[in-house]
């Protein structure tokens, strides 16, 4: 069974790109447009990985990350932060909140897919 990845980003074009890239690599892709939707989808669809934008309406990516890590049963969910905010402090904050990886935008598509595949192969 193909692995499920939830993409949470409020930029429709970035979502479209991620959706295309991940589906092409054989993943099932769910899309959330904001932090609240992302949490609902994690609850409802139990994805294997969440790709989280940091600057999202309603709830930020940091908050979504923190809330996922609060629930022990969601421990196995890999979290990749994906953000245009690339300062050290922001990267460290994401990792401290329990993200497995922090990728800054713009990213290399090949690099991103390789990292996602690597994390999910564990």
Partner 1 sequence: MSIGLISFAAVAQFAPVVLGGIFWKGGTRRGAMAALIAGFVVWFYTLLLPALARSGWLPISLLEHGPFGIELLKPLQLFGLAGLDQITHAMIWSMIANIGTYVAVSLLASASADEHRQASLFVDVFKQSGEAGGARFWRGTASAPELYNVLARFLGAAGAEESFRQYAAAKGLQWPRDRLEADAALVHYVEVQLGGAIGSASARVMIASVVKEEALTLDEVREILDEASQVVVYSHRLEQKSHELEAATAELREANERLKELDRLKDDFVSTVSHELRTPLTSIRAFSQILLEEPELELEQRKKFLGIITKETERLTRLINQMLDLSKLESGRAEWQDARLDMREVIAETVTGMSQVFGERDIKVEVSVPDRVAPVRGDVDRIIQVMLNLLSNAAKFCDAGRGRIEIALSEQVGALRVDVRDNGPGIDPSDQKEIFDKFRQVGDTLTAKPHGSGLGLHISRQIVEHFGGRLWVESRRGAGACFSFTLPHE
Binding residues for partner 1, rule: CB under 8 A, are 10-14, 16-18, 20-21, 24, 33-34, 36, 55-58, 84-87, 104-110
CA distance 99 to 94: 6
Under 8 Å between Cβ of 31 and 7: yes
DSSP letter for 3, please: P
Q: Which is nearer to partner 1, 69 or 105 (CB)?
A: 105
Minimum CB–partner distance for residue 120 and partner 1 (Å):
20
Query: Which 8-state DSSP code applies to residue 9?
Result: -
77 versus 116: smaller Cβ distance to partner 1? 116
Q: Which is nearer to partner 1, 24 or 76 (CB)?
A: 24
At closest approach, how far in Å is the CB of 83 from partner 1? 8
* Among 94, 75, 72, 70, CA closest to 83: 94
């Amino acid at each position: 069974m193909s692995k499920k990845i939830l993409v949470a980003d409020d930029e429709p074009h970035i979502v479209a790109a991620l959706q295309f890239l991940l589906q092409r690599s054989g993943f099932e892709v769910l899309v959330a447009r904001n932090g609240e939707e992302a949490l609902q989808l994690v609850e409802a669809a139990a994805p294997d990985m969440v790709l989280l934008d940091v600057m999202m309406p309603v709830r930020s990516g940091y908050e979504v990350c923190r809330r996922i890590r609060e629930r022990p049963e969601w421990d196995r969910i890999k979290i990749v932060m994906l953000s245009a905010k690339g300062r050290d402090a922001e990267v460290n904050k994401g990792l401290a909140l329990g993200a497995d990886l922090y990728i800054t935008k713009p990213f290399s598509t090949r690099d991103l897919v390789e990292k996602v595949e690597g994390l999910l192969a564990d």
